[in-house]
Amino acid sequence: MHKISTIQSLFVFFTIVVFFISSCNSNNSPKDALTKKEQLGRYLFFDTRLSLNGTKSCASCHSNKMYFSDGYRKSITSLGENVPHNAPTLINSKFLHYYDWANPAANSFAIQIKRPLYGNHPIELGLDKSIIGLQRVFSSDSIYSTLFKAVYGIKDSLFTLSQIEEAIVAYENRLISFSAPFDNGKMDEDAQKGFTLFKGAKLNCAKCHPPPYFTLASTSINIDSVYSNTGLYNLDNKNQYPSDDIGLMTYSKRVTDNGKFKIPTLRNVMQTAPYMHDGSVNTIEEVIDIYARGGREINYGKYKGDGKNNQLKNKLITGFDLTQQERKELLSFLNSLTDTSILTNKIFQNPFSNQ
């Protein structure tokens, strides 16, 4: 009797362990099916009907085909205007403590999403102007009628804006990916040497771009660590960035924050050119040249000045010499951060072209 109950309880224990392990997997693996709410968010993310004139969706500027960036220096809104900044990837943004390039107030997806949806400076999607029309359009759309009913129990697509936001945020939370060669132990010898360089005291890259997220913005909440001036500008050698885009100083009003921008992730970075907050650096080679020089020199035009001498530049950026071989290794390492499964993983694809 005693023996049987031991075996029984062992069996129950074993079953619980198996169940626990399998449910952990299903929460963590991005390949797994989306919940209904996440699925709704996925449709909305890719739906151009969310913009006031039906031209743009979140995915227009965060394209799954471009690792959730857009390839422009500065993204283009539904009205054809440029936004002030380069569109960052959204892969693994879930782990960031701060969103956007220099706005510490945007510290959650829920807060951040209001800018592209309703922002006026400039209008990006312009959703607030079209919600009633949108309800009408979606009520005759079988996918949305079904999903809104399943998720929120709403008839005739009489959804609210906050439900739309909530569903998109749920989808953003599923844009997770850690299957690059770096994660799979598939780095070649050059890439491994490049990683050693990346972490070493000569380059100091990992001080600001530490693994596994490759940005301090995911591992620190300290604003002074998360935002840095990397010496891209030094207008008239007066330690200034262009006056219409001075970074963290816009929010903090501290003069010493002029030119500080959020440290971006380097995951998939080889696929997300052009670079920096304003997209002003075209290639990864140029990025390395700028760091090697200890700042960017601009010789002509209204942004003339040598960023190397910007007194507000972070002290870690001092410049260094790289041999051709070391440069090759560093590039191999950065290449090992590309997770090509993003291009095929079904949950990242446009649901409208997958029907």
Residues that bind ligand HEC (CB under 6 A): 56, 58, 60-62, 75, 77, 83-85, 87-88, 90, 93, 96, 99-101, 109, 112-113, 116-117, 124-125, 168, 172, 203-205, 207-209, 228, 230, 232, 261, 263-264, 266, 269, 272, 275-277, 284, 287, 291, 314, 316-317
CA atoms within 13 Å, Cβ hemisphere of 204: 14
Report d(CA 258, CA 272) in Å as an integer: 25
Query: Smallest distance from the beta carbon of 185 to ligand HEC, in angstroms?
Result: 22
Query: Smallest distance from the beta carbon of 316 to ligand HEC, in angstroms?
Result: 4
Query: Smallest distance from the beta carbon of 87 to ligand HEC, in angstroms?
Result: 4
Going by the DSSP 8-state scheme, the letter that residue 302 receives in this structure is T
Query: Smallest distance from the beta carbon of 228 to ligand HEC, in angstroms?
Result: 4
Query: Smallest distance from the beta carbon of 315 to ligand HEC, in angstroms?
Result: 8
| 181 neighbors 191 (Cβ within 8 angstroms) | yes
Both structure tokens of 265: 């992730």
Q: Which is nearer to ligand HEC, 101 or 148 (CB)?
A: 101
Cα–Cα distance list, 29 to 37, 160, 167, 345 (Å): 17, 30, 19, 11
Q: Which is nearer to ligand HEC, 15 or 311 (CB)?
A: 311
Identify residue 244 by its one-letter amino acid code. Answer: D
Going by the DSSP 8-state scheme, the letter that residue 305 receives in this structure is E
Query: Smallest distance from the beta carbon of 201 to ligand HEC, in angstroms?
Result: 11
Both structure tokens of 144: 């949305």
Q: Which is nearer to ligand HEC, 45 or 148 (CB)?
A: 45
Query: Smallest distance from the beta carbon of 317 to ligand HEC, in angstroms?
Result: 6
Both structure tokens of 15: 């079953």
Query: Smallest distance from the beta carbon of 213 to ligand HEC, in angstroms?
Result: 11
Q: Which is nearer to ligand HEC, 18 or 174 (CB)?
A: 174
Report d(CA 76, CA 122) in Å as an integer: 10
Q: Which is nearer to ligand HEC, 147 or 276 (CB)?
A: 276
Which helix (H) or strand (E) segment is 227 a member of? Answer: strand 227-228
Helix axes 284-293, 324-335, angle to 10 degrees: 130
Both structure tokens of 348: 């990242």
For residue 38, give the nearest of 200, 148, 212, 167 by alpha carbon.
167
Cα–Cα distance list, 320 to 4, 31, 276, 303, 333 (Å): 70, 41, 20, 24, 18
Coil vs helix vs strand at 171? helix
Q: Which is nearer to ligand HEC, 109 or 152 (CB)?
A: 109
Q: Which is nearer to ligand HEC, 35 or 48 (CB)?
A: 48
Q: Which is nearer to ligand HEC, 113 or 147 (CB)?
A: 113
